Amino acid sequence: MVTPTAALGGSYDVVSCDRASSIVGAADSAWSYRTDNDASFTTLHECPSSGALTSGLTLTTRLNVPLADRPSEGQLSEWRLSAPTGTTIARLQATRDVGIRDVSLRTYARDAAGWDLNDGSETCSIPGGQAACDVGGPGTPAIDVTGLNTTAVRYGIECFDTGTRCGTGSILTSAWVNLYGTTVTINDPTNPSVDAVGGPLFSGGWKRGTVSATATASDVTGIKSVRFYSDGALVPGATIDRASQCDYSTVAPCANPAAGASFALDTSLLSDGSHSIEVAAVDATGTNETKAGGQTVQVDNTAPTKPTHLEVTGGGASASFDVAFDVPAQTHAPVATAMYEACSGGLCINGSRPASGTSATLTGIALPAGGTYAVKVWLVDAAGNGNYNNAASGSVTYLAPSGGGGGGGGGGGSAKPAAPTTPTTPTEPSGPPAPTTPSGPNGPNVPNAGTVPAQPTRPATRAAVTGAAKVSKTGRLTVDGRISRAARGKVVVTYRAKVRGVWTTKSVKAQIRGGRYHAVMRLPSGWKHARGVKVTARYAGSRTVAAQTKRLKVTSTTG
């Protein structure tokens, strides 16, 4: 649905020459030149003006023009400013210098229909007994003509003496017009057009973070800004300002965005819940506006609270465990995924499973080695919100067979929940990376086991992981590093940061080739606002090369 704002008639000012000097990169093309006698008239665009006779936007007669080439009656030379289609000129302000030295010529300032402006005072007549007339001049006050309703304004010189050719001058020019600076006010009674509203924002489902909408917006004066409305009210801070792309030294100051252009809305500016969202385009006047969209968007930027009644079962002689828990009721987006992590010393496994309803059970989670594992479970909703700090905690002990390289000792079955701990490298909901091998014992010995299994043998070769991480201005993380040439497999590169109060983690695996690895990762939305950024490279270890996790230095690049 498209909803134009009531067309009250916005306006904007177009400036030229001296008055356009403050615009960086001004095209200064509002006035166009035309003549029907190039042999007799000439022009110059010298802006900013020097205040001299021939500076600014100038028109003059040429010197020593042969009689046959001189202007005949009705021939002219003029500067013309035409308003865009559907708009009108309401006001003209100008500093100028116009004059003649030949009675067969006259200067003029007219509207599109040929009516004189400023009560005809710009038409210069030579007083009796004098050789010239001059109106305005450097340093004189500007004229201010109001109440106009025309599609164009014109300043020019014309030949009007019937029956003969007009003089052009042999030593001094016979006529001149110099516009040192002008401001033309244009009224635009028409709102811009907006259609083809769509994109991810309106694709259904729950939305979080920054999401883009697409729309096609246009106006004869261009589009100055794009806004978002929620439930009929302007969303503060959600205006895409395109004023830097506008040049008010042209009659159509702003560019129109490409068809189907994307415009991003930060949904964290809205309250969680359902909203009717509209996209609005504003033209060069800054007031004429059209809204479109009017579609319901479901927003949720709040992570679920922690699971309740967590129960960890399994372990003992079994190399796997189950986790059961209750899913707390959600106000908005429902829970969709359960994330889990189990760590013993420096050895961690992690992953995700679907979870919904009021309770869930994660079964058959495999343990890589013996030991006592701190287990954490946290929830992710259908919008993608999840917070590691909202994890419920428990523990499990796996008694690996003696001589099998397992971790710590005794105990079996379910383990009592352990106090919550915060690991140094939380995980992301993309699936479990390869487990890491600790540099020391797998975990504390557990009483009543009877015997303590032998500890795993340390590999003889150090991984020697090194590397450097760079973040580009487009949000791409690139990591290049080295590792022992004896290492095989992959290095897991993990990015962790706090974005708008929520810890976010993302990992990617890099293949090891000849003692080197290279990883590229697209950073999560909102990465520019990240705090506490930490990038690590982790090698899981092998029979011959020890595991190692290395924190990498992060730098930015303009690449």
Whether 23 maps to a domain, the answer reads no
pLDDT tens digits, residue range 439-461?
333 333 323 333 333 334 445 57
Whether 52 maps to a domain, the answer reads yes
Q: Are residues 287 and 391 in the same domain?
A: no
Q: Are residues 336 and 364 in the same domain?
A: yes
Q: What is the pLDDT of residue 459?
A: 53
pLDDT tens digits, residue range 303-316?
999 999 999 999 89
Whether 61 maps to a domain, the answer reads yes
Q: What is the pLDDT of residue 329?
A: 94
Mean pLDDT of 403-426: 38
Q: Are residues 489 and 503 in the same domain?
A: yes
Domain boundary among 458, 484, 501: 458
Q: Which two tokens stand for residue 87?
A: 């708009």
- In whole angstroms, give the CA distance from residue 80 to residue 155: 7
Q: Are residues 216 and 259 in the same domain?
A: yes
- DSSP alpha helix (H) spans, 288-425: none
Domain containing 208 equals 191-299
- The total number of structural domains in the chain stands at 4
Q: Are residues 147 and 63 in the same domain?
A: yes
Q: What percent of the chain has pLDDT over 90?
A: 68
Q: What is the pLDDT of residue 541?
A: 82
Whether 14 maps to a domain, the answer reads no
**Res. 281 pLDDT band, cuts 50 70 90:** very high
State the chain's maximal CA–CA distance in angstroms: 130
**Res. 532 pLDDT band, cuts 50 70 90:** confident
Mean pLDDT of 524-547: 84
Q: Are residues 177 and 92 in the same domain?
A: yes
If one compares 424 and 216, the residue with the highest pLDDT of the two is 216
Q: Are residues 184 and 195 in the same domain?
A: no
Mean pLDDT, the chain, whole residue set = 86
Q: What is the pLDDT of residue 524?
A: 78
Please determine, for residue 20, whether its predicted confidence score (pLDDT) is greater than 90. Answer: yes
Q: What is the pLDDT of residue 254?
A: 97
Q: Are residues 294 and 430 in the same domain?
A: no
Q: What is the pTM of this model?
A: 0.67
Please determine, for residue 192, whether its predicted confidence score (pLDDT) is greater than 70. Answer: yes
pLDDT tens digits, residue range 105-127?
999 999 999 999 988 888 887 88
Name every residue whose Cβ is closer than 8 Å to that of residue 389 and which is 6 or more positions away in sequence: 422, 503
* Residue recorded with tokens 């244009």: 186
Mean pLDDT of 236-250: 95
Whether 9 maps to a domain, the answer reads no
Q: Which of 533, 519, 530 is nearest to 478 (CA)?
A: 519
Mean pLDDT of 425-446: 36
- Please provide the distance, in angstroms rounded to a whole number, between the alpha carbons at the two ends of the chain: 42
Q: What is the pLDDT of residue 130?
A: 84
Q: What is the pLDDT of residue 529?
A: 80
Q: Which of 180, 176, 183, 172 is nearest to 98 (CA)?
A: 176
pLDDT tens digits, residue range 353-364?
999 999 999 999
Q: Are residues 508 and 371 in the same domain?
A: no
**Res. 427 pLDDT band, cuts 50 70 90:** very low
Q: What is the pLDDT of residue 43?
A: 95
CA-to-CA dists, residue 93 to 15, 50, 180, 185, angstroms? 9, 19, 11, 9
